[in-house]
Chain A
Amino acid sequence: MNNATKISKYNVIIDQQLEHFFHKQRVEGYDPFGLDAEILKFWGPWIKSLYLLYHRCQVHKKKNIPSHQAIYVANHSGQIPMDALMIIFSRIVEADPPVLLRTMVDYWVPQLPFIGRLVSGCGGVVGTPENFRQLIRRGESILVFPEGVKGITKTIFQRYRLKPFTKGFMRLAVESKIPIVPIALVGAEEQFFSLMDCQFLAKLLDLPAFPLTPSFPLLGLGGALPMPTKYHIIYGSPMDFSKAPADEVHIERNVKLVQNEIQSLLKWGLSRRKGIFW
């Protein structure tokens, strides 16, 4: 499928989705978590351009994407959460029925002026267990990054080596009996060549991390633009933990299972890609 065909196909899906959100807003009222059809309408075309033209996302193993409610678990990388945006967009346009994933975000995100509102407007929700449960009760599918800040702020030397996963997502998956879909995203690690995380500056600016790259902060904000690396999004087979015991030993073991699955999907993706830009 060439880009022009893709664009027209995506436009139809996006328009239908926006109409769905506007209708929902009119009938059921506003989303209590802050999802805003107006914000989606404004940012949709930009995200589409990033998806198609800037990062030229390619989705693999689409047949694994379930049509029912699921918890999507992905690796986190790239200093800025472009990976989340691209995974969310891929789930809307690449599989039927289109689903807007609700991303669990860190506590500090809502504290950032403008960005906090933008994230919640696009479906981001602060990652508390109670928010997770409420979203599940509402029938939403959720995207989580169990590596958290440690994952996204990895340096280039640690690329594609997963940081230890937190266990919260597994506890809630067992509790809610909803399957987990592992996702590996290849390409985001190289969008910034982060040489080190300057914790001193991070603490000074009250940020969770402050990456130093060859271009940032030397070239100012221009140096903070990510490189147009090609993204490969690989969906793994859904993993069912509905019958798994909820004790800590089993939770830890099952978290490891998911982590190993994502690590092997990453290996698969890395072995198939020809270079970081194509």
Chain B
Amino acid sequence: MGAKQEKRDFLVSKMRKKTILITGHLGHLGRYLCQSLEEEGRYLLLGIDHDQQFSSPKQKGNLLHKSIEEMFLSNSIDSVIHLDLIHDPKEDWTKRNIYNLAGTNHLLHLCSKYKIKKFIFLSTANVYGPSPKNPQLISEIEPLLATAYSSGPDDLVKSDLLVSSFFWKSPQLEIVILRPCHIIGPLENGIVHYLSMKRPITILGFDPMIQLIHIDDLIQVFKYCLNKKIKGIFNIRGPGEISLHRFLQQLGKTPFPLPTMVAKTLMTTLWNLQLSDFPPYELPYLQYPCMVDDSLFRSKTPYTPQKGFSEIISCLDDHPLNQLKS
């Protein structure tokens, strides 16, 4: 009888939908991820987002708000996917720093306190920084030097390091830090904006190799992380590498090459006058490679990118930003 009960409990627990808290579920990537997980029907989704103007059938809140603890109290959360970082380069840097760092810290402490099983954090491969001294394919053990090579905000690097520190602060928490290359999809991130420019700026005499990943492949990565017993830091890349000029050529764009000094001066001036969306501190990414080696993730999961460059190009072609400009 006891064995039967145990077996039934085991089956019930297996059949029970996993509860996943997604922070940043109102962002482009968050919405896409929620939709994709909902379609599977195996998950019960909860959400928190810093953008509170939207109303959602799910719960809403702010990472810095104390009330989010109620969400942990009233739900038996299995996993947390943390996407809610402010990436907007035009946002006030202090606000970005406070929200991204204090918010992430608050969330991690709650996960630790309520013994959440898994915490998945979406960082970026850009934290390694672009440099001529970089290994061509950077592995997870390399230092995060983004702010050493470009003078941009350092909150993304700090957030990544903050999450890493919880590997020893909360060893029971299965932390996964994902550092994917540039994500292409129905998003409005920096790379999509750049590739949607009518004539994307390039630096004269430079043609760095780049990596791109289709959003559908990234969703697969999230699913592997949710379902597999893995923890650690993982670089994620898409179908391969391609030179920036060749990609622009395949995309049907004519680059607008500028000498380094001219590009720096022009972009800084336009940025300061709020006439450009392209932050000048990102110019080094147009000169030097910042590409990652994802062999560690591939060795732990059956992940293989399903979308090639042709799908990435058609995704960009169909993007509303491109449609608008054409």
| Chain A residues within 8 Å of B, Cβ to Cβ | 29-34, 36, 107-117, 125-126, 128, 130-131, 134
Contact = CB atoms under 8 A, between A and B. Distances in A.
B66 interface: no
Given A32-B241, A134-B293, A128 B209 contact: no
A32 B132 contact: no
A108 B132 contact: yes
B182 to A, nearest CB: 15
Nearest to B135: A130
A117 B206 contact: yes
Q: Which residue, B136, B204, B209, B291, has most C-beta atoms of chain A within 10 A? A: B136
Contact of A134 (B132, B136, B206, B260): B136
A113 B137 contact: no
Contact of A34 (B203, B204, B243, B293): B243
- Where chain A touches its partner, the secondary structure class is loop
19 contacts: A29-B239, A30-B241, A30-B242, A30-B246, A31-B241, A32-B137, A32-B241, A32-B291, A33-B209, A34-B243, A113-B203, A113-B206, A113-B259, A116-B205, A116-B206, A117-B206, A126-B132, A130-B138, A134-B137
B241 A29 contact: yes
Nearest to B209: A34
A29 B288 contact: no
B136 A131 contact: yes
Contacts, number: 64
A115 B203 CA distance: 13
A126 B205 contact: no
B240 A32 contact: yes
- Where chain B touches its partner, the secondary structure class is loop
B122 to A, nearest CB: 23
B205 A113 contact: yes
Interface in B284-323: 288, 291, 293
B241 A107 contact: no
Contact of B205 (A30, A31, A36, A114): A114
Interface in B240-294: 240-243, 246, 259-260, 288, 291, 293
Contact of B136 (A33, A109, A111): A33
Interface in B91-146: 132-139
Interface string B202-233: 01111101000000000000000000000000
Contacts of A34: 136, 209, 243
Contacts of B205: 112-117
Nearest to B288: A110
Contact of A107 (B133, B139, B260): B133
B135 A111 contact: no
B243 A126 contact: no
Q: Which residue, A32, A112, A131, has most C-beta atoms of chain B within 10 A? A: A32
* 7 shortest interchain CB distances as A-B pairs: A113-B205, A130-B135, A29-B240, A110-B132, A32-B241, A114-B205, A117-B207
Contacts of A31: 241
A236 B59 CA distance: 72
A113 B204 contact: yes
A130 B135 CA distance: 6
A107 B132 contact: yes
Nearest to B293: A134
